């Protein structure tokens, strides 16, 4: 086995995902600690890999072909196994996205490696890999140690990209995708240009205190002005005011944006579970005793119907 670190990098329509530079930054650090190289696997045609070289990647393995352009576990799994065979890395890093969690776990089992899923920090200690990850939906933080070869998926937004110019030389890797048992029949693009909750820098979320779906424009307007994604509590999704995909919390999405604005959300433990690792939390609630204020950095006691228009207007001028 080498002391190298292998990244599985995600891209869409020829462009790297934001997470690519986050895992490159984490990977560079680990590779330096191990005294190895940082190698990135890019499966998909015509991807601009220059940003990888600018963020610490020594070498880029490219796998091209129509079978790899859209992520499927089978095609990207085959590419990752081929790259792992060539590089024999001590650590494989992926983004803890839908694809990265699925592929990381699958590859860890195929390669008989220890897995840390959804890490928020990772480093090498001698030859071992040490990572921190939230458990119990963020109610506790674990330190995990993998003595042997490892696979680590890294939570989006947990690591800030750092520039570090390296060669990033591209080398083609030839991989044959296996016969597909999983076929993508169709893809629906989102109706509105909704920012992905788990990757968003800022999120505006609404709860039952919004009063009903007819008030949601207050959430959407503020989100638009801030360039934020929008989410909801379970009470709201269960009532059918908003789709399930927008639910934040223990049985919804776990998010860690820089800014989370909770509007008319009481702060039940299952909701906090999904968002308490946000960097800054702002709460708007008419009840000064609402538990959400216990985890908030800034609290506004007031009615969402009055406060949100004030905040949206102020933000529009402030950010102009």
- Of 36 and 249, the one with the shorter C-beta distance to ligand FAD is 249
Give contact residues for ligand FAD (rule: CB under 6 A): 207-209, 233-236, 247-252, 264-266, 268, 270-271, 274, 284-287, 290, 303-305
Residue with the two structure tokens 């080398």: 171
Nearest to 42 by CA among 24, 62, 59: 62
Q: What is the DSSP string of 210-237?
A: G-SGGGHHHHHHHHHHHT-EEEE-HHHH
**Where does this chain touch another protein (CB under 8 A) — which range of 23-31, 48-56, 209-217, 277-285?**
277-285
Distance of CA 114 to the CA centre of its chain: 21
Other Cβ atoms less than 10 A from the Cβ of 195: the count is: 17
DSSP state of 309: H
Contact flag: residue 48 with another protein (CB under 8 A)? no
Residue with the two structure tokens 């985890």: 295
Site for another protein in 163-192 (CB under 8 A): 181-190
Contact flag: residue 207 with another protein (CB under 8 A)? no
Q: Quick one: tokens of 4?
A: 């190298």
In the list ligand FAD, another protein, none, the entry touching 207 (Cβ below 5 to 8 angstroms by class) is ligand FAD
The least CB distance from residue 272 to ligand FAD, in Å, is 9
Using the rule CB under 8 A, which residue among 89, 161, 168, 252 binds another protein? 252
The least CB distance from residue 165 to another protein, in Å, is 26
Looking only at the bridges linking them, the beta strands covering 150-154 and 114-119 are parallel
Contact flag: residue 126 with another protein (CB under 8 A)? no
Contact flag: residue 148 with another protein (CB under 8 A)? yes
In the list another protein, ligand FAD, none, the entry touching 259 (Cβ below 5 to 8 angstroms by class) is another protein
Q: Quick one: tokens of 207?
A: 């709860």
């Amino acid at each position: 086995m080498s002391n190298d670190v292998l990244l599985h990098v995600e891209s869409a329509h020829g462009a790297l995902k934001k997470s690519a530079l986050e895992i490159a930054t984490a990977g560079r650090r680990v590779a330096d600690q191990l005294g190895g190289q940082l190698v990135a696997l890019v499966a998909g045609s015509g991807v601009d890999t220059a940003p990888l070289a600018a963020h610490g990647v020594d070498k880029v393995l490219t796998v091209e072909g129509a079978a790899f352009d859209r992520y499927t576990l089978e095609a990207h799994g085959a590419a990752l196994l081929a790259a792992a065979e060539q590089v024999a890395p001590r650590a494989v890093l992926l983004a803890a996205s839908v694809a990265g969690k699925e592929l990381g776990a699958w590859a860890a089992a195929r390669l008989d490696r220890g897995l840390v899923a959804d890490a928020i920090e990772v480093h090498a200690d001698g030859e071992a890999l040490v990572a921190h990850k939230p458990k119990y939906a963020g109610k506790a933080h674990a330190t995990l140690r993998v003595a042997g070869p490892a696979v680590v998926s890294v939570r989006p937004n947990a690591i800030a990209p750092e520039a570090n110019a390296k060669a990033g030389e591209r080398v083609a890797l030839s991989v044959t995708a296996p016969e597909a048992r999983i076929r993508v029949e169709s893809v629906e693009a989102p109706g509105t240009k909704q920012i992905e909750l788990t990757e968003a820098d800022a999120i505006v979320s609404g709860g039952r205190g919004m009063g009903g779906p007819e008030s949601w424009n207050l959430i959407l307007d503020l989100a638009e002005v801030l360039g934020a994604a929008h989410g909801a509590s379970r009470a709201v999704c269960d009532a059918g005011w908003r789709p399930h995909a927008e639910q934040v919390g223990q049985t919804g999405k776990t998010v860690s944006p820089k800014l989370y604005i909770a509007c008319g959300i009481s702060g039940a433990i299952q909701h906090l579970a999904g968002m308490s690792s946000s960097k800054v939390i702002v709460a708007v609630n008419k009840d000064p005793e609402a538990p959400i204020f216990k985890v908030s950095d800034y609290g506004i006691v007031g009615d969402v119907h009055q406060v949100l228009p004030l905040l949206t207007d102020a933000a529009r001028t402030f950010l102009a």
